[in-house]
Structures are given as C-alpha cells and as structure tokens.
Structure 1
C-alpha cells in the first residue's frame, strides 16, 4: 500500500501506531501560534492546563506545530482573551467563558451557572449530549470554536470574617464574588464586589470586604485569606462544575491541516482531564493544612441554599424571556441536568454519602 493511501485510510491513530508519524508529519508546514491565558502562572493547576495542551501538540507534531503560552496580562488583559481571539490578535485563548456574560448571559452556561451541572455531568453534556453543538453554534457569532479545557470540580464557598448562620447574615454582606453569580447573591441582599486576587487579602484585613470566594483549598492556601477571614463556608453552589475552554479563532482553525486539527482536539482533551485530576489530587492535603492553620470549615445553612436556588431559577426564567440564545441553550441544559440528577441520586450521591461517612 502506498504511503498516501495508508495515511488516508488508517488515520492519525493508525499512523502513530505504525511508527510512520515522523515522515508524515514532516510533510506538514511548520506553524507557530500564540495562546493567551486569562490566568497567572502562579495558578499552576489552571494556567498549567494550557501548558499541558501546548506540550502535547508539539509532541504529536514532531515539534512542527508550536503554541507559545502567555499568562494573563502579558499580551492582553485577562478578561479580554475572547476579544483577542475573535479579532485575530492571537489564534487561541484559554479562559473561563462566564467572564464574558456581559456580552451575553449564554456564555455563563458554557462554564457554570449557580446550581448547574457538576464536572462529570458537564463533560457528559458537552461530549455526548448537545452541549458542544449548541455552544459552538452560539460561539460562532463571535468567530470562535471551543474545546473543553479543564474543570476545577465543585468549588468552596469562600472565606468569611463572620459565620453565615441564616439569611439575615447575607444582607449587606460585602462579598468578592466573580461575575454571573453576583446577580443571584445581589437578590439576597449581598453587595457583590469584583476585585482582582491580588487585592483581596488587604480588603478583607481592612474590612472593606466581609467575605471573598476564590476556588478551593489548593489555590486558596496560596492567598492566605484564612488568616484574616477564617470561616470557610461550603459548598460553592455557584461553581458546581466550572469548565474552562480553549477558544480558537474560526479562520485560524479552518486553515489548519486535518491532522493538526486532530492533534489540537486530542491535546485539549488531555488538558481537560488533567486539570481536574490535579485539583482532586492536591486539594485534600491543602485542606488539611488550612484546618491546621485554624481555618474553620462551615456548611452553608439549608435556608441560604434554598433561597439562593429560588433566586437563581427566577433569574434564569427572566433571562430566557428576553434572550433567545439563552432560551435555546438553557432548555437543553436544564433537561439534561434533570435527568442527570435523577440518575446520580440512585448511584453517585448514595455511594459517596456512605463512603465519605466512613473513617477509613
């Protein structure tokens, strides 16, 4: 069989398995892309996903497809990554879609919304459900195509200078909370603040903030917020399974050879899985260390969760009445969530509840 015919019929996986990849890859052009991240290098779990992605593309292409990774602020502001990709300033970005809900609330569904899917359910919706199809149709309006690029898993509910014992404690609370979730807590009387991570400690120490949410133990420990706001509430009901994305400019994507496109898709999937594996592996030890340093984990009262849920559902109905993009995507998302939670109730939730009640 001639080489071209073999490559055409065997596909990339067959080529790699047969050990003929170097000769085939060598026929492809050398290419250099730039990737703009929304995250600093210090967050090695989130920023690191883009590095995993870049290394895999380089390895699979025999070094011919190089993607340089740039932290937030180096090429453009962290929250301008979508604009940079859309405008062609960079070919690819790694970001959290809900950063851009101000353009359209539908962006938030592509990442996470309060009382949304957990990380496994989100991956199921995206990969085997209608998630990728629906979100890509939406993102096409912004000249980007997305690939799942990681998930933190359920996050913690943040750091508080005083314990939240009921709904009354939420009123007037000056709370550093990102983006879309602020619309829900605002309905509960909270005063949402959107400060960059580097300013949060000082604001809590001075009392300018009463509370602040970040991610979870591994990242939170680095910020040291427990030293000035020791109450560690959980869970972060607004971050049940936040998915990061690789946004690629559609024109740049269309110009890629088919085998390079396959490499990008494969590398993105590895980065997607790797990020949550890193968080799941590292959070337990960080959590123990936080408790050793006098952090006090406290569950949110049921009344607070119930009120937040009711406000969130009312908000989603309101958005759906005026935003056709949201209405289309959320209808499928909500139906998928309903089926997933029915199934998880009989399996995951019951099993986890038993296992985590044991002292192993």
Structure 2
C-alpha cells in the first residue's frame, strides 16, 4: 500500500507532543471518499487543545490535529454520488452535521481525527465542493474560522448593508468577518496591537482602525471614530475580559456574537450583556458552509493566509500561531 505522512497530537501535552508519523493510505468504504489533502490551516482551538486549556475535547490517547483542509477526491466507495474523483473538496467541521441543530460531536481535530495528513477518508456527505475562485490554501481557511465568522454575521441577526461590525484583533475569524462584512456593504471597525496589521486591515476595507496598546481606552477611541454611529454586531473573539467595554458600543438591537477566549474565558454563559443578547457561535453545518462559499465566489472574496509551513514543521506553525505574529491565517502545505 502507498505510504503517507501525517501528524498526531496528545491533548494537554503541549506543542512538544506533536509527532510526525508515516502510515498506510486508507481505502474508502461504502458511502465514503478518499481525499488527497493538499493544504490545511490552523485555528486557535488547535493550540487550546494541545496546551490543555480546553481539556477533554480530543480523542485519546492521541488524535490527528487540525480541522481545516482542502484537496482533491482520489477515490470513492460504493454508493457515492455526491462527489467524484478529481473534485476539489473540503471536509465539513463536524462530520455528519448537514443542517439544522448540531447533531454531531465528530468535530475534526478533536473528537474526530483531523486533517494534518496527506490522505484521509471522509463520509462523502460531509464534503463540500470548493469554488474555482479559491486556491486549496484559501479554501482551507473556511471550514472553521471562515464559517464561524460567517455565522457571527448572518446567523443570530443577519447583517444588513450600511450597518457597523466591530472585529477584535486580526486573526482568522476577525479578518474573515471583515471581508464578509465589506462584501455585504457594511462598515467595519477593527482593533489590533500592531499598526502594521491595522494598515493591512485598512487595505481590506476597514473603516475604523484602533491600536488598543496605544489607546488604553480603546472603546472610547472607537466611539469617537464612529461619530455618533453605533455597532450592530460585535464579533467577540476575546471573551469576558473585554466584552463589557465592547458591548457599550452597541446600538439598540445590537448583538454579541460570542466566539472566543483570547483574553481569558468565553462570554457564552451569559444570556445578555448591557441589554444586548449573547449569541454563542459554534461554527456551522454543511448548508451554512455551502452558502458561505457561494457568497465568496459571487463577491470574489479571497481569504488571507499570512505564512505557510511544511507539514514537517507543524510544531513551528503552532509556535507561530502562539506568538500572535500573523495576520489572518497560518497555513500548512500537505504536498
């Protein structure tokens, strides 16, 4: 059988627990497709799993990390009609979650083995077709970060043209939200500790940029720049340490899309803050993913991958993610 390269991790063992492994290329069974994965990207959750900040969320004793990848169907098993060899595809975030309420806990790179490997077998119904407008590396940003940003803007309270979005930082979710919001005709305020990153955000269309290290009361600085306007959707990736200040910028009817814990802890457990509803965002299902990809193709949205590592340097990719010295996404080539 053909050999392939992959990586494994142990939840809580740290970046040092990552290992490169050689294995046999799998064979698809009935209803399955074998995908030659070409590119993957990292998410903050990958770091949280490895370092033990989100314990009990991964397979034991080890697991294949990463949830986001793109590639080409290499072979299919019996009864498969959704995809065919040669199709450009990505696996969805939670295998089997096709639409409606989340029914599957088989989330890639956690309870289900992920995509840090050259070949993998997936249920054919858990694959989406990637648009010709995106490279594999770009499409590999969409499964988790892209879809999280999409649902932050369009699930709890659909964003409308002319409204305002506040994005925190310049990581994968925030930059995807910036791109989606601008494509939808909205305005965006964004914060960062780096003037260089803020300049890149302005090049993508950001209307207000605030350096929160220079502006110790960053919320007041955003309020001044808004000039009487108010924020309609907060893309909350920082969590509870900053959510009160950010919520003070919201308009009546404004929503907090609670996503991350870059600061200390999630905002999910609160139902409202300052009279504004808190909507927990848990990525999304296959139908959401397909709707998002169609929007990207229609509006020529090109995701941002800042730096790319070889799979053999996956530990360095994790360290780069941990450093925060990136804009958009950190990628892995699986070729």
Q: Same fold (TM over 0.5)?
A: no
The structure where helix makes up a greater share of residues is 1
Q: Which has the larger radius of gyration?
A: 1
TM-score, structure 2 normalization: 0.29
**Structure ranking higher in strand proportion:** 2
| TM-score under structure 1 length normalisation | 0.28
